[in-house]
Amino acid sequence: MFTGLSAFPLTPLNSSGIDESAFETLVSRLVSARVDSICALGSTGSYAYLDRAERARTVELAVATAGGLPVFAGVGALRTRDVLHHVEDAQNLGVSAVLLAPMSYQPLTDGEVFGLFEEVTANLSVPLVVYDNPTTTRVVFSDELHAQIASLPGVASVKIPPVSADPQEAHSRVATLRSKLPAHISLGISGDMVAAEGLIAGCDAWYSAIAGVLPEPCVAITRAAQSGEADLARELSSRMKPLFDLIARFGSYRVASAVAEELQLVSTGNLPAPIRPLSTTARANVLIALQQLQQLK
């Protein structure tokens, strides 16, 4: 369940709240593309901006639309109390696993981060994916902290930050972290622009933001890496470089939203205020990148 391509769809909004029809369309596309799992309410899924009822409804829709594919649900929140509420809802709605990023306003110590995961895993009946996302959360995991958390019951996978684009450095990083973790822990790469290198270096899964709106090329990259065709995986990834460059500049959240709009999968105004969409110039570059990708298919 924690291998292959896990796609993180947007949770598009409209004036009434969640755009349920658009969300179902996004999830249905992931099913048709044969991704390996679907993660609702990741960072691209706006989890931090949604209230408890909105999160629960998003999870409900994802599970109902996933056609039996494993559905993971993000459960992060600033307070442990609220994390446990989201865990309860997600489990009751039939998710296969939960994804937890330790959110912070006051900087968290390693002891506080470990305590969060310790309390959450004590209240879990499904596996947990550790979400290491320092760019967003400002929480930096040491390898030692990863090892401590990975020893907790129910922890099944660790979603790590981007590895180096250099193959040797990527392999060394993956091997070093894996040597510190229990053998059953799956390693998942994030950072779409280096995901191919992460998979080639030995990561088990690609936890992908852009796959939530463009699943087919991401599935192709994943399958090439899984079958040992490293050169093909790198070539397919290079075809997405114009889009990856925009993600590096503007972030996957806004770029994924713009891609979904260009593909007419969501309406304008799908991001939660105060988040604003890309500028007209940046949006034009997204369109160019999509056109180039389509020409190269």
Q: Confidence band (pLDDT; 50, 70, 90) for 296?
A: very low
| pLDDT per position as a tens digit, 43-88 | 999 999 999 999 999 999 999 999 999 999 999 999 999 999 999 9
| pLDDT per position as a tens digit, 88-134 | 999 999 999 999 999 999 999 999 999 999 999 999 999 999 999 99
Strands 13-14 and 17-18, sheet pairing: antiparallel
CATH topology of domain 4-227: TIM Barrel (3.20.20)
Per-domain boundaries in the chain: 4-227
Spell out a b/e string for 58-87, using b for 16 or more CB atoms within 10 Å of the CB, else e. bbbbbbebbeebbbbbbbbbeeeebbbbbb
| pLDDT per position as a tens digit, 260-288 | 999 999 999 999 999 999 999 999 999 99
Say whether pLDDT at 211 is over 70: yes
Say whether pLDDT at 295 is over 70: no
Residue 116 burial (CB < 10 Å; 0-12/13-18/19+)? Answer: buried
Residue 8's Cα: distance from chain center in Å? 5
Residue the block writes with tokens 């599970």: 63
Say whether pLDDT at 297 is over 80: no
pTM for this model (two decimals): 0.96
Distance between CA atoms of residues 99 and 128, nearest Å: 6
Q: Confidence band (pLDDT; 50, 70, 90) for 207?
A: very high
How is residue 179 written in tokens?
A: 């040597």
The average pLDDT across 250-255 equals 96
Say whether pLDDT at 160 is over 80: yes
